Amino acid sequence: MAVVQRLNYGAYRKIDRFMKRFLYFSHLKIISKRQKGRMQTKQIVLISIILFFLAIVLISPNAEAVGVGVSPATLHFSNMLRDGYAEGFITSSVGTDNFVSVSAVPRGEIAEWIDFPEGPLLQVNKDNPGRFKIVVTPPSDVANGIYNGFIRFTTSPLGEITTGAGSAVTVSVDASISVGITDTQFLKCTATGFVIKDTEEGQPLLLSINVFNEGNVRVRPEVDVTIWNQRQDKIVETFSFKADKGALPTTRETFFFNLPNKNLDIAQYWADITVRPCQDSKLLTFDIVEPGTLALDGILKTIITKVWAEVGEITQIIAVFQNIGESPVKAKFKGNVQLDGRVIQILESEQVVVGIGEEVNLTTFFTPGVPGRFIVKGRVFYGNKQTFDNTGIINVAGIRINYILIAIYGLVVALLVFIIYRLYKRRMRAY
């Protein structure tokens, strides 16, 4: 009996140890499966989220690498007077093929002194940089000293031009501006680009001079002209003129003067020209020719439009005309705006006198009332002649839904939901 009890007790101990070991390893196995399931679930969910955002980036139609740069990166205006004037230019460029809006915003202690007379927003791409004109006008109560600020140039979101789904990226860069204030006035200018063209007998002579104002006060140039005969041994005429307007500090202006031609016969002449207060002089020669000898000629170089506009936005249209003939002309742009082959609006600019070799902007305006692709077409009329037609494009954005892109987004979201659901079911079966 004792032997049987001893055997039963030994068997019991063996069975007890086996059950304990079985339960221990079974518990470990269950825990291992649960932990492994959790790890797999986390990994798959993380991979799914990464793939989702990667898909958004890859299928976004407007996502592209873009950088913005400015030149020069620094503008310094020295020796400015209170209530004075100075101007400069900064060119902005981007690294994208598509047109992008670049805006300029002044910052810092001189932000209120800075203005953009031609506008703080331009449309640019890598082949068409934008040139911002910057004007600085210090107030009347500012003390002498150096003042600093900067201008921040920022691109519009790349997905903003066309309405619809897409990613948006903006890039900014700063250009520093410094202004030195003084109470000392000084006058300094340089006269260059002296031009006097041949003219027909009885027609006035056109004299043009470029003046760069390097001082800090307005310059109103005065011109003295002495005309000599061909052998330069006799003075034929003398003239003195004063410009109708002045050149502001830091600006370059071209001044035109009409010289009377009543006593000059058909021949070659010499003109000795002096510009005050710049004290620059130049000796030029010109011819008086028979009537009808000089030709009129001009070209419409381009029509500048805002490539992307909004409904109801006043849009500027600029026809760039250059006089390449041998006589000044009066020029006017005439054209129209078309949508789907129909004329929407007639365009006509003001008449402008264009000097020899001069290039002018003939400006009109158009306000689109509906979305669409508008075509601007026209030509310039000058003298009794006209140029070839030229065209420009205005794209007016409307509400446009990209159904294909929305469908792709929907499929990606559905796939993500399906993967999470399957992982959830697998986890429930593991328990």
pLDDT of residue 328: 80
- pLDDT of 283-310, one tens digit each? 999 999 887 777 788 999 999 998 888 8
| Residue 59 predicted with pLDDT over 80 | no
Q: Do 225 and 278 share a domain, yes or no?
A: yes
Neighbours of 80 (CB within 10 A): 22
271 pLDDT more than 90: yes
Q: What is the mean pLDDT of residues 171-193?
A: 93
Q: What is the mean pLDDT of the chain?
A: 82
Do 164 and 75 belong together in one domain? Answer: yes
Which is more confident, 135 or 57?
135
**Given this model, what pLDDT does residue 98 score?**
83
- Write down the pLDDT at residue 35: 53
> Within a 10 A sphere around the Cβ of 288, how many other Cβ atoms?
19
Whether 7 has a pLDDT exceeding 50, the answer reads no
**What SS3 state is found at 344?**
strand
Task: Give residue 40's pLDDT.
Answer: 56
SS3 for 62-79 is CCCCCCEEEECCEEEEEE
Is 312 part of any domain? yes
Higher-confidence residue: 59 or 102?
A: 102
The average pLDDT across 414-431 equals: 73
Q: In this structure, are 306 and 357 located in the same domain?
A: yes
> Do 329 and 314 fall within a single domain?
yes
Query: d(Cα 341, Cα 318) in Å, to the nearest integer?
Result: 21
Residue 410 lies in a domain: yes
Q: Based on the domain organization, do 177 and 231 belong to the same domain?
A: no
| Residue 6 is assigned to a structural domain of this protein | no
Residue where a domain stops, chosen among 257, 289, 321: 289
- pLDDT in the model for residue 204: 85
Report the domain count for the chain.
4
Question: Does the pLDDT value for residue 60 go beyond 50?
Answer: no
Tell me the C-alpha distance between 73 and 88, whole Å: 12
Residue found under tokens 């499929």: 411
Return the higher-pLDDT residue of 414 and 382. Answer: 382
Whether 412 is covered by a domain: the verdict is yes
Please check whether residues 98 and 115 belong to one and the same domain: yes
Residues 282 and 370 in one domain: no
Q: For CA atoms 111, 115, 119, 124, give the dihedral sign.
A: negative
State the Cα–Cα distance between residues 141 and 335, nearest whole angstrom.
49
Instruction: Give per-residue pLDDT as tens, 366-393.
Output: 999 999 999 999 999 998 788 989 999 9
Predicted confidence at residue 69, as pLDDT, reads 87
For residue 27, is it within any domain?
Answer: no
Same domain, 345 and 418: no
The structure tokens listed for 67 are 């950088």
What does the pLDDT look like over 306-346, one tens digit per residue?
Answer: 888 889 899 999 999 999 887 788 899 999 999 998 999 99
What pLDDT is stored for residue 163 in this prediction? 41
Q: Are residues 108 and 168 in the same domain?
A: yes
Residue 10 is assigned to a structural domain of this protein:
no
Residue 202 lies in a domain: yes
Which residues span the domain enclosing 310? Answer: 298-397
pLDDT of 161 > 60? The answer is no
pLDDT of residue 194: 95
The predicted pLDDT at position 162 comes to 41
> Of the candidates 222, 254, 289, which is a domain's last residue?
289
Is 361 a residue whose pLDDT tops 80? yes
Which of 140 and 67 is assigned the larger pLDDT? 140
The last residue of one of the domains, among 289, 311, 330, is 289
Name the residue with tokens 């669409």: 372
Cα separation, 120 vs 134, in Å, equals: 9
First-to-final CA distance of the chain: 47
Is the predicted pLDDT of residue 402 greater than 80, yes or no? Answer: no
More confident residue, 415 or 268: 268
pLDDT at 43: 57
Q: Are residues 105 and 208 in the same domain?
A: no
Residue 63 inside a domain? The answer is: no
Of the candidate ranges 9-23, 138-152, 282-296, 415-429, the one whose mean pLDDT is the lowest: 9-23
In this structure, the answer to whether residues 321 and 258 fall within a common structural domain is no
Interval 194-253: pLDDT, tens: 998 888 888 888 899 999 999 999 999 999 999 999 989 999 999 999 998 999 999 999
Express as a percent the part of the chain with pLDDT over 90. 51
CATH code assigned at 369: 2.60.40.10
271 in the same domain as 366: no
